[in-house]
Chains A and B, each alone.
Chain A
Amino acid sequence: MSDAVLDKQVKTQKTRKRRVDPEIGVSLSWKTLKMQKQLIFMSVPIAIYLIIFNYAPIWGWLMAFQNYRPALPFGKQEWVGLQQFQFLFSDETFMMVLRNTIAMSFINLVLGTVTAIGLALLLNEIKAKFFKRIVQSISYLPHFLSWVIAAGIVATSLSIDDGIVNIILMKLHLIKEPIMWLSEGKYFWGIIGASNVWKEVGWGTIIYLAAITSIDPSLYEAASMDGAKRFQKMRYVTLPGIKATFVILLIMNIGHILDAGFELQYLLGNGLTVDWSQTIDIFVVKYGIAMGNYSLATAAGIFKTIVSVILVFIANYIAKRLGEERLV
């Protein structure tokens, strides 16, 4: 008897749940299809578009397992198994490209996050609303410019005869003669990192600043009562308050660790710095489009995609285990 009661209770709970979350009650049937025909009409064509433009190209992955020659029909291509991948990972250039990509990506990620959080913390301390808004608006202005314009600006600022960077460094007597920044590989990663900060720091700040604003003010009051100073409040209230935002952005960015960027490196790199400036994306363009080695370039692309997806899932899993916000 008690079993029956329990059963009934479970059942009512289920029906109640069904009313709250209608999704459970909907099953794939002609009736639902007919009922939702307008929703289907509004979304399925776009999904098909997506499949064509984002998923259909996956058939091209087959090229990575062939010695693809454009002149031959698909059936006549020579299959070579994992040879392209073997070549890729024994290729010195690819290893260098991989190193450059990860290094620049890592620099951008760390530098970008630290400066964005730092600027957000400092902006948050500004009491004059008007001044705060002006600084903010100006700081994210470069985000809206293309990398072409940004690259032009970087090149101008670093130029040897009239670049502002050299002029300032010389006036400060830090260097004796102008440095040819863009002609030496050892400066390249730093230049990319600094350019990224210049272009994106304001934009990155927006989200952290919003997270800071949403922290409960009573936490700050309580901290003040306990005698916390400005920096202690930052350390013990603000930083924990933006942790969730930080984690979710980190997960989102980790998937892009092999996207160090293409444009700036392509535009600023040159023959002298090629060992430091080439990224996977440039490698793909160079081997694939310019040299016509489609198979090798496709193999590099596959490697990149698979690493990205794996990294996102790992990051997401770790975040889940740590009880943090997560993406999927």
Chain B
Amino acid sequence: MKAVTKSSGRIEPIVFHTINTIFMLFVVAITLYPFLHTLAVSFNDGSDTLAGGIYFWPRAWTMENYRAVFITGTIYHAAFISVSRTVLSTVFGVFLTTMLAYTLAQQQYIFRKKISMLFILTMYFNAGLIPNYFLIKELGLLHSFMVYILPSLVSAFNLIILRTYIRSLPGSLTESAKIDGAGDFRIFWKIIFPLCTPVLATVALFIAVGAWNSWFDTFLYASSDIKLSTLQYEMMKLLGSTMSTNNDPSALAGNQHNQAQALVTPASIRAAITIVTAVPILFVYPFLQKYFVVGLNLGSVKE
């Protein structure tokens, strides 16, 4: 009896770790395969792709798909809009959220509870799509670039992350500055803001990813204005046109235009745009990884 438990005690970890490792490799494979496949398709000749059988590696190498993507002026402009909205949203969003978080971290601040409540409520409370649409219209933001920046400047979630972090900083850091007569704005800008760097990176990443990835606001508020199109929105139009069962006539028209440029199919164009749209994020996130783990955990901390 004793011998049995002993031997099973020795084998069990090996079996478990082997199965566990295989399972992890399976998770990795499932996550990565679609990207490798898309990458392969994006470098493969469009009509050759139609024959099927492309997995990890392009069969008939070509740069034609990327050329077709970049030949149309719209993609440059869409990229420009995507980059500008991301940069502006991030810069203003991070600054304003941190500033507000600083004030809400001050225990003695008279409006602390009221303003905090207003923000936290927005996580669940939303006037709804139609009233928001009317607001945007009333404010004259329809078909304007500012519709990408203004409505989503400060989010409750990021605010909670920053407030929790600022509260965790030792109070003695600011006390001496206060005694020396520094005002709150000065303390915020000279002491708190620089100290927040790791969380700022997290929040900046969250805001940037959100801004970069959104297409719904274009769809809702600026879809008739090609000058305000973003990369994601271009992707979305392409997706609509390439899904066999979906047929949006306007998108299909754009499609045929692409097909006219020899050997390029909607599927291969889509692959190329997917790569173009995904690459910026895939490059940024490994650098910010260690920060957002911290940030995400702060976000879950109770008030």
- Whether B20 pairs with A57 at a CB distance below 8 angstroms is no
* A97, CB-defined interface residue at 8 Å: no
Chain A 91-138 interface residues, beta-carbon cutoff 8 Å to B: 119, 122-123, 125-127, 131, 134-135, 137-138
B232 to chain A, nearest CB (A): 5
Name the CB-closest residue of B to A254. B124
The proximity string for A residues 40-65 relative to B, scoring 1 for CB distances below 8 Å and 0 otherwise, is 11111011011111111111110100
- Whether B232 pairs with A146 at a CB distance below 8 angstroms is yes
- Whether B135 pairs with A126 at a CB distance below 8 angstroms is no
Chain B contacts for A142, CB-based, 8 A: 31
* A77, CB-defined interface residue at 8 Å: no
* B181, CB-defined interface residue at 8 Å: no
Name the CB-closest residue of B to A119. B27
- Whether A135 pairs with B127 at a CB distance below 8 angstroms is no
* B235, CB-defined interface residue at 8 Å: yes
* A149, CB-defined interface residue at 8 Å: yes
A303 to chain B, nearest CB (A): 9
- Whether B183 pairs with A155 at a CB distance below 8 angstroms is no
Given A57-B134, A207-B296, A248-B302, are A148 and B239 also a contact pair (CB < 8 Å)? Answer: yes
Chain B 269-288 interface residues, beta-carbon cutoff 8 Å to A: 270, 274, 277-278, 281-282, 285-286
* B68, CB-defined interface residue at 8 Å: no
- Whether B131 pairs with A57 at a CB distance below 8 angstroms is yes
The proximity string for A residues 281-300 relative to B, scoring 1 for CB distances below 8 Å and 0 otherwise, is 10011001100001001101
Partner of A182 from the list B102, B185, B214, B245 (CB cut-off 8 Å) is B245
* B103, CB-defined interface residue at 8 Å: yes
Binds B, one of A7-15, A169-177, A215-223, A263-271: A263-271
Chain A contacts for B31, CB-based, 8 A: 138-139, 141-142, 198, 202
Chain B contacts for A119, CB-based, 8 A: 27
* A245, CB-defined interface residue at 8 Å: yes
- Whether A289 pairs with B220 at a CB distance below 8 angstroms is yes
- Whether A153 pairs with B38 at a CB distance below 8 angstroms is yes
- Whether A41 pairs with B154 at a CB distance below 8 angstroms is no
* A325, CB-defined interface residue at 8 Å: yes
B209 to chain A, nearest CB (A): 5
Partner of A327 from the list B17, B108, B302 (CB cut-off 8 Å) is B302
Determine the distance from Cα of A26 to Cα of B302 in the docked complex, in whole angstroms.
24
Partner of B16 from the list A125, A156, A249, A272 (CB cut-off 8 Å) is A125
Determine the distance from Cα of A23 to Cα of B53 in the docked complex, in whole angstroms.
68
- Whether A271 pairs with B52 at a CB distance below 8 angstroms is no
Q: Is the interface of A mostly helix, strand, loop or mixed?
A: helix
A30 to chain B, nearest CB (A): 12
Partner of B232 from the list A148, A207, A297 (CB cut-off 8 Å) is A148
- Whether B300 pairs with A249 at a CB distance below 8 angstroms is yes
- Whether B131 pairs with A60 at a CB distance below 8 angstroms is yes
- Whether B28 pairs with A138 at a CB distance below 8 angstroms is yes
- Report, as a range, how many residues of chain B touch the other chain: 35 or more
Determine the distance from Cα of A110 to Cα of B236 in the docked complex, in whole angstroms.
29
Determine the distance from Cα of A272 to Cα of B246 in the docked complex, in whole angstroms.
10
Chain B contacts for A300, CB-based, 8 A: 128
Given A125-B20, A302-B128, are A206 and B293 also a contact pair (CB < 8 Å)? Answer: yes
Determine the distance from Cα of A207 to Cα of B161 in the docked complex, in whole angstroms.
14
* A78, CB-defined interface residue at 8 Å: no
* A5, CB-defined interface residue at 8 Å: no
- Residue from A25, A131, A149, A302 having most chain B Cβ neighbours under 10 A: A149
Chain B 121-162 interface residues, beta-carbon cutoff 8 Å to A: 122-135, 150-151, 153-154
* A255, CB-defined interface residue at 8 Å: yes
Name the CB-closest residue of A to B131. A60
Determine the distance from Cα of A151 to Cα of B238 in the docked complex, in whole angstroms.
12
Name the CB-closest residue of B to A285. B129
- Whether B281 pairs with A145 at a CB distance below 8 angstroms is yes
* B243, CB-defined interface residue at 8 Å: yes
* A317, CB-defined interface residue at 8 Å: no
- Whether A42 pairs with B38 at a CB distance below 8 angstroms is no
Determine the distance from Cα of A257 to Cα of B123 in the docked complex, in whole angstroms.
13
Binds A, one of B58-66, B72-80, B112-120, B252-260: B112-120
Partner of B33 from the list A63, A164, A301 (CB cut-off 8 Å) is A164
* A312, CB-defined interface residue at 8 Å: yes
Partner of B184 from the list A42, A47, A288 (CB cut-off 8 Å) is A42
- Whether A60 pairs with B103 at a CB distance below 8 angstroms is no
* B169, CB-defined interface residue at 8 Å: no
- Whether A182 pairs with B243 at a CB distance below 8 angstroms is yes
Chain A 195-249 interface residues, beta-carbon cutoff 8 Å to B: 198, 202, 206-207, 210, 229-230, 245, 248-249
Shortest beta-carbon contacts, A-B, top 8: A301-B128, A60-B131, A146-B213, A57-B127, A57-B131, A38-B184, A43-B103, A270-B245
A63-B134, A145-B278, A298-B130 given; 11 more Cβ-contact pairs under 8 Å:
A41-B185, A42-B103, A46-B100, A49-B153, A142-B31, A152-B235, A153-B38, A156-B267, A245-B300, A297-B130, A327-B303
Some 27 contacts from A to B, beta carbons below 8 A apart, are: A22-B107, A36-B108, A39-B106, A42-B103, A43-B99, A43-B109, A43-B111, A46-B154, A57-B128, A61-B127, A125-B17, A139-B31, A141-B285, A146-B215, A146-B277, A148-B239, A149-B278, A152-B239, A155-B242, A162-B53, A164-B33, A230-B12, A297-B130, A298-B131, A300-B128, A312-B124, A327-B302
